[in-house]
Amino acid sequence: MPIFAAALDLPVWSIAPFALLLLAIAILPLFAEDWWHKNFNKAIVTLQLVLPTVVFLGYIQFVEQQPAFVALTHEMAEYVSFILLLGSLFVVSGGIVISGDVKATPLTNTCILAVGAVLANFIGTTGASVLLIRPILRINKQRRNTRHIPIFFIFVVSNLGGLLTPLGDPPLFLGYLKNVPFFWTLHLWKEWLFVNGIVLSVFFVWDTLAYRGETTESRLDGNAGKLSLRVKGLLNVPLLAGVIGGVLLQGSLEEPWGKIVGGALMLVMGILSLVLTPRLLRAANEFDWHPIAEVAILFFGIFITMVPALAILSANRDAFAISEPWQYFWLTGALSGFLDNAPTYLTFATMASGSQDFLLLVHDQVPGIHDGPLVLQAISCGAVFMGAMTYIGNGPNFMVKAIAQHAGYETPSFFGYLGYSCAILAPIFILVTIVFFVQLAG
């Protein structure tokens, strides 16, 4: 079965608005940074590319009698769930303040990223990102050489860490909904440890060199030794658990009630957090609506304009003619960097299993597929790991970038970030291929 409820036969040129939106995200900050920084202007650009897509899908629906609006409605439902999850986590986590006299050393920063990698498996990469990005930015604010910190944070906390449970990343949650046992992803612990261990080691060396380049003044923290580590806004912790409960409800109830009830619970948790959390705590976190508004605007455009791209991918997946685990790893991963990694995972897992029941891969019961569990591992790792390759590869990536920028940190452009990810992550993914998906497959 395709990603959508019905297949669509669309021309390749129909992906032009999606490609132009990605190009706008990449190019405009370089040539019109001040203009692009305003969310109103982002909304103008987004709508100019969304409208042609909607008109075209309307033509396909009413003139060519293809169920294009089924695909569009599906993606809009996914967008609502997506933004409710990110928005509720943004609001609830924004009411939790972690403060104290922690010194901004390379060891401290590495430990925060490591904690985030573990925490991502319990509250998701989005929850862990929103919870920890502000503390690590606040701790390092007096330093001058900090450009690399948000980048590695996106690598580890927003992506690589969330591989071990279906709660970690949306693709794995989709697998759970398609009959993959909840604890099956724990089999990926070797890949998780391998990749996160290397990236954290690279970060520690990088941050150590950056720290040595700091001036004496930039290393000093006026509060060092005066304040113990404290966590305020603890009333948001059960609300955070409520948001995760909403995610689980989305998967445990029949459609459409799962999305309705789960989304409503997330919304209620966010509203309760806004009402119950003292304003002083949000002020201490420098809480601002700009980052989540930016994510909501850009991903509204992405979810709509990528409908033709996903439809073409779904309709032509048999033409890829792939069979080896390493091929699934790279193809799933490459597309996950530029498309939503959840439907990309769903497409290639469906391709490999020949159905919507991925349990067949787990038990190696798919004709023509050798070592089904390894294939599913490759698809899972590709979708989760390579979501870190671009700002749009996974939901929290852009949010972390926006929060860091709002806090006064210098962050690279779209292509600048892609340069970092290609230089740091691509060689590691080649090692993953050799160690896990070539040698073991043979």
Is the pLDDT at 194 greater than 60, yes or no?
yes
In a domain, 5, yes or no: no
**Residue 310's CB: how many other CB atoms inside 10 A?**
27
In a domain, 2, yes or no: no
pLDDT at 1: 33
> What is the residue-averaged pLDDT of the chain?
86
d(CA 96, CA 111): 19
Count Cβ neighbours within 10 Å for each residue of 138-170 and write b for 16 or more, e otherwise: bbbebbebbebbbbbbbbbbbbbbbbbbbbbbb
Distances in whole angstroms, Cα of residue 29 to Cα of each of 38, 76, 236, 291: 11, 27, 35, 15
Q: With contact defined as beta carbons under 8 Å apart, do 378 and 351 qualify? A: no
**Strongest mean pLDDT among 178-182, 195-199, 239-243, 357-361:** 195-199
Distances in whole angstroms, Cα of residue 172 to Cα of each of 29, 88, 190: 32, 20, 17
Enclosing domain of residue 216: 19-438
d(CA 432, CA 434): 6
In a domain, 14, yes or no: no
Is the peptide bond prior to 135 cis by the omega test (within 30 degrees of 0)? no
3-state secondary structure of 232: strand
* Helix or strand run (H / E) with residue 367: none
Average pLDDT over residues 221-245: 75
Ramachandran quadrant class, 390 (left: phi over 0; alpha: psi -120 to 50; beta: rest): beta
Average pLDDT over residues 9-27: 89
Domain count for the chain: 1
Q: What letter does residue 160 receive in the DSSP assignment?
A: I
Residue 20 amino acid letter:
L
In a domain, 3, yes or no: no
pLDDT at 101: 67
pLDDT band of residue 220 (cuts 50, 70, 90) is: low
pLDDT band of residue 150 (cuts 50, 70, 90) is: very high
Average pLDDT over residues 141-148: 90
pLDDT at 276: 94
In a domain, 10, yes or no: no
Q: Which residue has the higher pLDDT, 428 or 223?
A: 428
In a domain, 296, yes or no: yes
